Structures are given as structure tokens and as C-alpha cells.
Structure 1
């Protein structure tokens, strides 16, 4: 843990810097274009390239020294941010530059993420993996809580280019922390000997490792389906809240969500999570679906505050338990490949969710609950009619589907009995 903490702290500082840049670039694109579609494309370009390259990145990470893979991710992200800052200073920045920069950053992150996850397994004793996962969630929660508030103040004082240059400094800090720490190497196992001469074989091996274990494959599919529903919800949080409250309230709602995630990550860091971690995943996913359902069924500011705090609290516990399951059940020597495939498949549904959420809300659900709409006289009596109520109905649907997915996952024996039947690596 003494070796893990400096690496984790460097990651925390880097994530706060990345949050500053995300906020600043989002403000810039929205101010320049005035369109939500081009704003949403930042998320698509920031995720899709990394998802596509993940299998290759995972195989490369298992071949390389994992510290150098993490250094590559930090250096690439820092150079992308520096390029954007220089273009801003020269007054030559265009929207397509941002799309290209976030796409490159996504690719570099695809190397860094599996290397960091696999390294954690080598550094942290098995009994502390849930706590380490909680600390990783704490870093993300801190970024969600601090970055928007800090970036909003810094954009006014040092302008957008100053904010992005500050992000470059945080990447440099993360680089230094990694250079100061010696990383252990994984022990040579049978899994580590799979035809090192064939990169293609190693890429495929990550997939075959998972599919040979029905419990892990079931967990992967559970996350892929759940992430689709969550992706739709995450895109529509802003328009739902703004339909019933001001932008100030929206900022408060998002900050409360970050606070909930921070409290949840602190809880799992100290508590360590339930002994049967898959029950932690099921229980808090079910609770999260209920929060989404209630936010749509009773759209109001107090409900938004309560729902988003509880949801993000549970999300920290879910992610901590899930990460600890994979780190304990997958052999350290092949975690780069396996975690990369896991990331690609579980996140593959998110860009699709981002792309269809807007049209689904604007063209289907909002007209259904417009004044005089097809469902105004039935469901409209419960939820209400008018602007935002169609999105609220979509939240109800996504919440119910999330809960049904959780029940289906629990009824699948290999997944429910994962901890008992699948031995630790």
C-alpha cells in the first residue's frame, strides 16, 4: 500500500486536471457552436477510439513494463492538452482540433487504464483490493466534485488556455510519481506463456480467457447492458433538470452527485465492501435503478438531490466491488489483455446510448407527454405533461429496465455464485 498510494495520488491529481480540461473544452465548444449535438460529440470522440483499440492496448501492456505503459498514457494525454492550449493561444483552435485531441487522448488512456488496474493487483494484498478500488473511485469522485467548480472559477481568471496548461502540469506531476516508484513484475504462470510471438493470439486470448469462465462472461454482459441504460440517463440528466429548475440548481445537482460518489468511495475504502462482492454489485445496481425510476416518476428538485446522491454513492460501491472481483479472479500476468477486452465490451454500449438518447427523447418520449399528446390522458396524470415530462418518462423506463437486468443477472447461477465457484487467481 505504501507503493500504491503515491501512484494513486498522481492519478488523483491527473484526473482533477483532466476534469478541468473537459469542463473548459465543453464550454468553448458550446459557446462557439451553440449546438448540443457538437457538444455531445466530444463524449463520443473521447470514448470510441479507446474502446476500439483496447484489445491491442491490453496485449501490448502485458508485453511491456507496465510502468512505461502508464508513462506513455500520461505523456500522450499531456501533449494533447498542450497542443490544444497552444492553438488557443495562437487563436487558431477549431472544433475538429478538439475532436482529434480527445480521440488521441482516448487512445493513450486505453494503454494507461489496464496497466494501472493490473499494477494495482501486484502492489496491493488481496484482502485490501476492495479498499484500493474504493480509493480509485475516490479519485474519480474528487475529480467530479472539484473540477467543475474549480474550472468555472479558473476560466474567468486565467482563461481556458490557462486551465488547459494547468492540466499539462498535472500530467507532469503524475509522470514524476510513476518515475519515482519501482513496479513489481508479475510471476510467470501458464497464462503468461501463451505464444508470446503472436500479438494477434494475445489479443484473442483476452476474449477466450473470459468466455472460458461463464461467471466472468456473465458479469461482462451484465455491465454492457446496464451501461447502455445508464448512458441514456447520463446524457439526459442536464435537460431533465433544466426543464424543472435553473442552471444554478443543475450545478448543485451535479455537485451533490460528486459528493455522493466521494462518500461512497470513502465508505468502501474503509469498509472494504461486502464479503460476497457480487451481492454488492446486484444490491446497489437495483438501488440505482430505483433512484432513476423515482427521479422520472416524481421530477422535482428535492427528488433530484436525493436520487443523485444515493445513485452515485451506490455507483462507487458497485465499481469498487466489480474492480476487486476482476483483480482477484484474473491471473496478474494476463490482466492487461483481459481488462482491455472487459473495458471494450462493457463500454461499447455507451457511445450508442449517447447517440440515440437525444433523438429518443426529442422525437419519441417528449411528444408522447406533450400537452394533448398520446399518453397525456393516461401516464400524464401520474408524471405530468409538458416540457421535460417525456424525458422523465424515459427515466422511468430506463430505471425499470435497470432493475429487471439486475434481477435477470441474479437469476443466472454462474453469476450469482461467482465468488463461491470461481477460484481466485
Structure 2
């Protein structure tokens, strides 16, 4: 009982540190989105921030998986947070000097992506090391709450502070939250994994191990295929909904900030419910419910024209994410031994990166080159209608996919 208490305490300290860091990072990202939109008014330009963030991870993810299985995970967290902090302050310095360009943001996003890859993958493998299996679903939902919790206050704070202190001031706040997270990591003890597979293998075998493991386990493979299909169309909507709102509201950052904050609140409420309740006993049902609820919520957001409906839809969209992802991760924690999770999770993460990158590029190109020009020139619809139409198509496909989920997972 004493050991469980200290393990829970360790997780809470780690979780609080990540929450502080996420608040600062979300403020910086929201501010950069506004800055890039003001400079370009292009959905593709905004989508490229995420693309450049993810592209280097295609190369680094398999190596990260090996590092996690072979290296101190606490050291990896310290390295990743320190590297991200230096990248963030470099953006602020360039903005302070008046020399910041859009391509600078893309370049720095690529470097941050590498450190973020190490941080995200390492954190995902810590839950089964620290907590017993019965708490895995709750802990996973709390991980989702970090992202959405930051989404509640970060857009509002960034929207108010950006005109007052500029991008440099926002990055200083981000640095402060990094420092808090860094101190919290130093406070805790993270156990090492027992390396049970020490036989000599060549480097190529190590790099491809995670993919081979997933392929050899049909249940994991079916979940990867299913979630990848969902993620592709969900990420199209994620990429486009902010520029859609900016286009429809004449770049009103306050409305966008409230909608984003509504999404953060939805994620926190969903995470709290799962944390208290513990989630579905049949984890597959949690995945199905998350899929269907997400599709319906995105469709409402796409079809609505009033900010109040955008807020409600974004709340419901985010509400279903902790339910879906906590169920998904709980299955993986149960199916994969601790000493293999770095490489297997790395393979799954890499697949997710490729899907999201393709999705973001597809969203930007289809929006700027096809749907926006077509609906404005041929049908005289207002700016943002093309993006809304593309989001509605994506939502409809998600709903159709959800109807097949139960059969795939049986």
C-alpha cells in the first residue's frame, strides 16, 4: 500500500509538471497561429507548421523507441524539455529583433518536433511503469487532460497578452512553465525497465522491431488501421477549423480563443469523468463511442454559422477524445511488455505522424486550391465555406467508419 501511494504521488507530480509546460506551449502555438495567419491568410501556411513539426519525427521515431528501451527515461525527459525550451526562446528572440519570418517558424518547429517526439513517447511509456494496471485507463485520460487543460486558459491568455507583450513576452511565459516542469521532473524517481531481450541483434532489426511486433499481433494491427483511418479525417478537421473560424469572423482572435477554450474544457470534463469512472470495462466500446461522438460533433461545427454552436461542438468534439484514447492506450499497455513498449509505441507513433502529416498537407491543398476558390467564385459563398465543406465531408466519413468499428474489433 505504501509503494502504491508513492507511485501515485510520483505520477501526480509528473502530471502537474507536464500540465504547466503544456499551458506555456499552447500559448506559444496559438500565438504563432495568429501571427502566421496575419502574415499570410493561408490555411496551407498554418498547416505547414504542423507538417514541419512532424516531418523530422519520421526519421527520429524508430531511434527514440530504441533509446526509451535502453536509456534512463528520466534523462530523456530532461533532455527533451531542455531542447524544446531553447527552441522556444529562439522564436521569441527573433520576434524581439523584428527579424522573424514564416520560414524561421517552420525550421524551429522541425527541431522542436524532434524533442517533442522524445518527450511524448517517453511519457507514454511511464504510466505502466509507475501505476498498477487497474489505473491505466484513468492515467491515460489524465494525460489527455494535460492537452485540453492547457487549451482552456492558453488561448484566452494568449489572445489578451499577445497585443500587450508580443511574441517575445509569450515565449518568456513559456520558458517559465518549462522551468516548473523541469523542477518537477528532478523531484521524482522514475524506475528503470528490466531489459529482458539483450541478445545481439542488428540495428535494422531493432529499427523495424515495433512494426514486426504489431504486424504479428492481429488485434494490434486492426486497431492501428482503424485509428489511422479515423485520425486522417479527424486531423483534416483539426487543421482547418481554426482558419475556418478566422475566415468567417474577419480574423477575430477573441472568438477563436473562446472556441479553442471550449474544446479545452470539453477535454478536461471528459478526462475527469473517465478518471473518476474508470472508463468502459469493454475497452473496445470506449473506442467506438469516441469515434461516433467525434464525428457527430465535427459535423455540427462544420454546418454551424454561429460562435455559440462552434463552442458547443468543439466542447463535444474534445469531450470524446479522452474516452477513446484512454481505452486505446489501456489495450496497448495490457498487450505489450514494459521492456518492449518504447519500440512498439514508437512504431505506432510513427504511423500516426505519417497519417497526420499527409492529412495536414491534404487539408491545406484541398482548401486553398480547390474548395475555397470553387465555392467563392462559382457559388459566391463567403470566405471559409470551402473549409467548412471539407470538414463536413471528413466528419461524415468518420461517422461511417464508426459504424464499422465494432466489426473490426470483434
| Offset of residue 67 of structure 1 | 0.8
| Offset of residue 94 of structure 1 | 3.2
Distance 1:159 1:366, change over 3 A: closer
Q: Which residue of structure 2 aligns with residue 422 of structure 1?
A: none
Q: Which residue of structure 2 aligns with residue 208 of structure 1?
A: 212
| Offset of residue 359 of structure 1 | 3.2
Measured in 1, the distance between the counterparts of 2:100 and 2:249 equals 33
Measured in 1, the distance between the counterparts of 2:21 and 2:315 equals 24
Which sits farther off after the overlay, 118-127 or 52-61?
52-61
Contact 1:54–1:343 (CA under 8 A) maintained in structure 2? yes
Q: Which residue of structure 1 aligns with residue 324 of structure 2?
A: 318
Measured in 1, the distance between the counterparts of 2:306 and 2:377 equals 19
Measured in 1, the distance between the counterparts of 2:101 and 2:377 equals 41
Distance 1:120 1:372, change over 3 A: closer
| 1:53 counterpart (31, 56, 60) | 60
Q: Which residue of structure 2 aligns with residue 281 of structure 1?
A: 287
Distance 1:291 1:35, change over 3 A: closer
- What is the CA deviation profile of residues 370-392 of structure 1, one whole-angstrom value per residue up to 9, with x for unaligned ones? 5865xx9xxxxxxxx65544443
| Offset of residue 297 of structure 1 | 4.4
Q: Which residue of structure 1 aligns with residue 78 of structure 2?
A: 71
Measured in 1, the distance between the counterparts of 2:334 and 2:398 equals 26
Q: Which residue of structure 1 aligns with residue 3 of structure 2?
A: none
Which sits farther off after the overlay, 229-238 or 298-307?
298-307
Measured in 2, the distance between the counterparts of 1:135 and 1:106 equals 23
Asked whether 1:337 is paired with 2:343, we answer yes
| Offset of residue 354 of structure 1 | 1.4
Measured in 1, the distance between the counterparts of 2:223 and 2:203 equals 26
| Offset of residue 368 of structure 1 | 6.0
Q: Which residue of structure 2 aligns with residue 381 of structure 1?
A: none
Measured in 2, the distance between the counterparts of 1:394 and 1:213 equals 35
Q: Which residue of structure 2 aligns with residue 393 of structure 1?
A: 389
Contact 1:50–1:108 (CA under 8 A) maintained in structure 2? no
| Offset of residue 363 of structure 1 | 4.3
- What is the CA deviation profile of residues 397-417 of structure 1, one whole-angstrom value per residue up to 9, with x for unaligned ones? 2122112222233212xx23x
- What is the CA deviation profile of residues 171-202 of structure 1, one whole-angstrom value per residue up to 9, with x for unaligned ones? 2222222122111122344xx3353x533322
Q: Which residue of structure 2 aligns with residue 225 of structure 1?
A: 229
| Offset of residue 100 of structure 1 | 1.7
Distance 1:118 1:44, change over 3 A: same
Contact 1:24–1:164 (CA under 8 A) maintained in structure 2? no
Cα RMSD (Å): 2.4
| Offset of residue 33 of structure 1 | 4.7
Measured in 2, the distance between the counterparts of 1:241 and 1:31 equals 14
Measured in 1, the distance between the counterparts of 2:95 and 2:365 equals 32
| 1:193 counterpart (188, 198, 203) | 198
| Offset of residue 38 of structure 1 | 2.9
Counterpart secondary structure, 1:274: coil
| Offset of residue 96 of structure 1 | 2.7
Counterpart secondary structure, 2:9: coil
| Offset of residue 167 of structure 1 | 1.5
| Offset of residue 165 of structure 1 | 2.1
5+ residue gaps in structure 2?
1-7
Contact 2:47–2:364 (CA under 8 A) maintained in structure 1? no
Measured in 1, the distance between the counterparts of 2:225 and 2:72 equals 30
- What is the CA deviation profile of residues 23-45 of structure 1, one whole-angstrom value per residue up to 9, with x for unaligned ones? 23333334445544333321211
Distance 1:260 1:194, change over 3 A: farther
Contact 1:221–1:346 (CA under 8 A) maintained in structure 2? no
5+ residue gaps in structure 1?
377-384, 417-425
Please, what TM-score do these two structures have when normalized by structure 2?
0.90
Measured in 1, the distance between the counterparts of 2:312 and 2:199 equals 50
Measured in 1, the distance between the counterparts of 2:143 and 2:385 equals 36
| Offset of residue 254 of structure 1 | 1.9
Measured in 2, the distance between the counterparts of 1:186 and 1:84 equals 37
Distance 1:36 1:372, change over 3 A: closer
Distance 1:216 1:95, change over 3 A: same
Contact 1:130–1:272 (CA under 8 A) maintained in structure 2? yes
Please, what TM-score do these two structures have when normalized by structure 1?
0.87
